A and B are shown apart, each in its own frame.
Chain A
Amino acid sequence: MAMATPAPVLRMSGIGKQFPGVRALDGVDLRLLPGEVHALMGENGAGKSTLIKVLTGVHQADEGAIELAGRSVAFGSPLEARQAGISTVYQEVNLCTNLSVAENILIGREPRRWGRIDWKRMRARARELLARLELDLDVSAPLSAYSLAIQQMVAIARALDVEARVLILDEPTSSLDADEVGQLFRVMRRLKDDGIAILFVSHFLDQVYEISDRMTILRNGRLVGEYPTRELSQVDLVAKMIGQELAALDRLHGEAAAFDRPLVEARELGRAGAIEPFTLTIHEGEVVGLAGLLGSGRTEVARLLFGADHAGGGRVAVGGAPASLRTPRAAMGHGIAFCSENRKADGLIPDLTVRENIILALQATRGWTRPVPREQQDELVERYVKALRISPPNPEHLVRDLSGGNQQKVLLARWLILEPRLLILDEPTRGIDVGAKTEIQRLVAELSGGGMAVLFISAELEEVLRLSHKVAVLRDRRLVAELPNGPELTTDVLMETIASGGRT
């Protein structure tokens, strides 16, 4: 594929952006060529989001210049950027699921006749745009009738309605399963062939290597470099992102050790429509991994064990005695903690400070009449802010202003100060950068070494294998196998088990 480099459709040079107290971007360059998928790589807080916001007119750069198709531009608002041909699909799909597919695609730009919406033309136009993505949907059906992956495509279709020359996809795959990712990538390749430059942000390295042509790496608001994807190995990429040689990521637990003190025993626990009755024993000091595809019932198992949902049937024993886990509070009484996968909706209180968010569960267990003394709060919070390297290390910062990885650490700290006996971690490393990821993995290993049981849920099989003593495999809302971890258990074996449903 050796070819002359075409003129970039977009060139950002020397971009600098200062926020109060933080230099978010400092002399960053970015070039996008027509018809390429360009990955923007960096840890959380490296400046990826800020760069995208500058490009899309959400923020104005303090320094530097932006050229679009050779013309110097400066966008005062996202609308101006869109009209110039820069469209963005954000991580959280921000569509209205109660409206129809066609309405979502053309919202604000409905074709009109005599001042009234021309529904026929609207549906036709929506179908046309979807056809460009090789999608054939019922455009008058409500968007909620379709899966998250399809919704993501609809968001892309909406972005493409205006003559897009640059398409920005910010973490488009974080909530998609493998098939859906494949579907998305097919669409991306098609758009690439149309000459659109795609800026792709993702934490999944494999996906970056599968789809991208070139990449730009940022670190601490500065440009590390621009590389053709094929010429940069994954190890080099990670090293450049975190700025240090990453210690070999080997298994944190060698062998399945013998665990003989059962902590939580679930017998035929189930909930109609969510998860078939399952039996699972978690021992003290044991890390149990839950593997399975998206929607296989991983989160549902966790929610039942935490009492977040009512179980339809079955029994649970904690420490040998029968226990009733009807509410989160009851589960907490038995020393069970649950870090939800959806930290925005089910985890953090965005308007409260880091300190308040961290002590929230502890305060809840004490009730409102016995406040945690301020000195104790400060001491606990300071300890965990330091231990988990929460940044910025200011306990009075609002949680809403923290990056995703740091929010995750705040949530983790909330549960760690309770010193639970069983810690349920649902996708604790999703959407966070490599450095924070290894930190959290190390922490899990450390905690289980100290006798805490951990139920670890992750979509990344490598991660599950590296951490777990035992892996429970879920498929189609059924627990199909329980495999002790050992040298013979590989991701291939796991995938096979998931695919075959444990029947072989």
Chain B
Amino acid sequence: MAAMRRLIWPLLILAALLLVNVAFIPGFLSVEVREGHLYGSLIDILRFGAPLILVSLGMTLVIATGGIDLSVGSVVAISGALACLQLSQDQGVFTAIVLALGLSTLLGAWNGFLVAGIGIQPIIATLILMVAGRGLAQLITDGQIITVNDPAYKLIGGGYWLTVPFGVLVVLAVLAITAFLTRRLALGLLIESVGGNAEASRLAGIRARGIIVMVYAFAALCAGVAGLMISSNVSSADGNNAGLWIELDAILAVVIGGTSLAGGRFSLGGTVLGALIIQTLTTTIYSVGVPPETTLLFKALVVAAVCLVQSPAFREKVFHRRRRPSSARPAEEKVRVTA
């Protein structure tokens, strides 16, 4: 119930954004089947939002341990680049995918090693790969944009299966797996414990090191899958621009979803909503017709408003007088939104 209450604000915000779109675009909510595919603006939001949701899911677990991963954008580029390179050298789709995801996971484990093994601050440790990773992606593509033409590969990011965009299905699968690992198994509890108080967790016998390495590897794996989707959708690998700034959107999605940047409690459902809010916002910018040169400013303003509305401290201040008569308010509620 408490979890539901936390999701109420992201839900309301998402609903509000959708309403704005409905006002500007007639038939915004309609979904139909065309040529055997689901078709409509809502489907587009899901389809184009799929990579962001994936990256955000991984980011959620990293942030829950009290860390942060700035390198996911670079991993997106590396994964796409390696897969396309393999395809362009006439390797099979399966080999290409396995290699790309394998390398992504390895890079994530490297991040985890820097953080948990050597003790570098997460923001610095992952900054290394964020910068070096772009170079690595360039190296793989030899500075070119590799174009591929493989129908099987195209399915990942641009195809449909049973009328549903394949990427959306991938997201659902990853979400289900993540929820299973963290909530059905005990991974979530241990992650929240490590993020809540690392030293106390160590003294309770939790092997924090292994968990942290695993979480960073998982985040990179998610980014790797997102990289496949993005490059598959455009049938090419662009080492420079693929996944550029996606780490910031992902962090934002996690925070909007109600997970504290300080670590501890996390909410997968909140993160999915957060990512959808950001994707819907992008759509809204087009449908409202915000002039292109001010889109970033517009986005920033909306995000700031979203964060403020979610902050209990802010709501307390603004609605202070209205709430005053019932002084029996919950004593302390942690301010979850810090961005």
A interface residues, Cβ below 8 angstroms from B:
18-20, 59-60, 62, 306, 308, 328-329, 332, 338, 340, 345-352, 356, 360-361, 363-372, 401, 414
Is there an interface contact between A349 and B186, defined as CB atoms closer than 8 Å? no
A309 to chain B, nearest CB (A): 11
**B192 x A349 contact (CB < 8 A):** yes
For B199, what are the chain A residues with a Cβ–Cβ distance below 8 Å? 345-346
Indicate if the CB atoms of A351 and B265 lie closer than 8 Å: yes
Q: A329-B207, A360-B204 are in contact. Are A19 and B331 (CB under 8 A)?
A: yes
Chain B 180-196, CB-CB to A under 8 Å as 1, else 0, gives 00001111011011001
- CB atoms of A368 and B200 under 8 A apart: no
Q: Which of A62, A350, A351 has the most CB of B within 10 A?
A: A351
A348 lies within 8 A of B327 (CB): no
Q: Is B206 an interface residue (CB 8 A)?
A: yes
Known A-B contacts A18-B328, A349-B193; the reply to A361 vs B204 at CB < 8 A is yes
Minimum distance in angstroms from A116 CB to a CB of chain B: 31
Q: List 14 A-B contacts (CB under 8 A).
A: A20-B330, A328-B203, A328-B204, A332-B205, A345-B199, A346-B200, A348-B200, A349-B193, A351-B264, A351-B265, A356-B189, A356-B192, A368-B189, A369-B186
CB-contact partner of A352 in B185, B193, B203, B334, under 8 A: B193
Residue B201, interface by CB 8 Å: yes
- Asked if B211 CB lies within 8 Å of chain A CBs, one says yes
Are A360 and B197 within 8 A (Cβ)?
no
Minimum C-beta distance from A456 to chain B (A):
18
| Interface membership of B202, Cβ < 8 A | yes
Top 6 closest pairs, chain A to chain B, by CB = A349-B196, A364-B205, A371-B186, A351-B264, A368-B187, A364-B206
In the assembled complex, the CB of A24 is this many whole angstroms from the nearest CB of chain B, namely 10
Given contacts A347-B200, A364-B205, A364-B206, 11 further A-B contacts (CB under 8 A): A20-B330, A329-B205, A348-B200, A349-B193, A352-B264, A363-B186, A368-B185, A369-B185, A370-B185, A371-B189, A401-B331
- Candidate in B186, B196, B206 with the most chain A CB atoms within 10 angstroms: B186
Which residues of chain B are within 8 angstroms of A367 by Cβ–Cβ distance? 186
Q: Which residues of B contact A370 (CB under 8 A)?
A: 185-186
Choose from A60, A329, A346, A372 the contact partner of B186 (Cβ within 8 Å): A372
> Nearest B residue to A348 by beta-carbon distance?
B200
Residues of B within 8 A of A365 (CB): 205
Q: In the bound complex, how far is the Cα of B196 from the Cα of A414, in angstroms?
A: 17
On whether the beta carbons of B196 and A364 are closer than 8 Å, the reply is: no
Q: In the complex, which residue of chain A has the Cβ closest to the Cβ of B262?
A: A351
User: Do A364 and B204 contact each other (CB < 8 Å), given the known contacts A349-B192, A371-B185?
Assistant: yes
A347 touches B203 (CB 8 A): yes
Q: What residues of A have a CB within 8 angstroms of the CB of B332 in the complex?
A: 401
Q: Given known contacts A20-B330, A371-B184, is B205 in contact with A352 (CB within 8 Å)?
A: no
B190 touches A368 (CB 8 A): yes
Task: List chain A residues, Cβ under 8 A from B185.
Answer: 368-371
